[in-house]
Amino acid sequence: AQSVTQLDSHVSVSEGTPVLLRCNYSSSYSPSLFWYVQHPNKGLQLLLKYTSAATLVKGINGFEAEFKKSETSFHLTKPSAHMSDAAEYFCVVSAPAGNKLTFGGGTRVLVKP
């Protein structure tokens, strides 16, 4: 069994300041972890994935995430927020050889000018 908890339902940042989106997971095996972004009325776009290689994963648009097994966390960060980063972000887990994705509840990011 696996589950994902996103600790903040909403995050508000000013443009140009860092963004931190927190995610904790629960899994009975070494999971694959993903971050997806969803812009309004659109599908989901993959930002990055972790699959047991390097624990610091770099993604698109300047985002990165660090896998910490001891803390069962996979937090997403970006050094400097842009207005176009306003969207909903989902932390997602799957079994390594599995195909079913389990989603967190999402974090809605607001970027203030």
Binding region for other proteins (CB under 8 A): 32, 34, 36, 41-46, 49, 51-52, 90, 94-106
Question: Which residue lies nearer to other proteins by CB, 36 or 63?
Answer: 36
User: Taking Cα atoms as reference points, which of 20, 17, 110, 16 lies closest to residue 74?
Assistant: 20
Count of alpha carbons within 13 angstroms of residue 7, beta-carbon side:
11
CB of 16 to other proteins, least distance (A): 29
Question: Which residue lies nearer to other proteins by CB, 44 or 62?
Answer: 44
CB of 113 to other proteins, least distance (A): 25
Give the phi and the psi of residue 24 in degrees, each rounded to 5: -120, 145
Angle at 87 between CA 89 and CA 95, to 5 degrees: 20
CB of 45 to other proteins, least distance (A): 8
Question: Which residue lies nearer to other proteins by CB, 93 or 111?
Answer: 93
CB of 90 to other proteins, least distance (A): 6
CA distances from 9 to 19, 22, 45 (A): 14, 10, 19
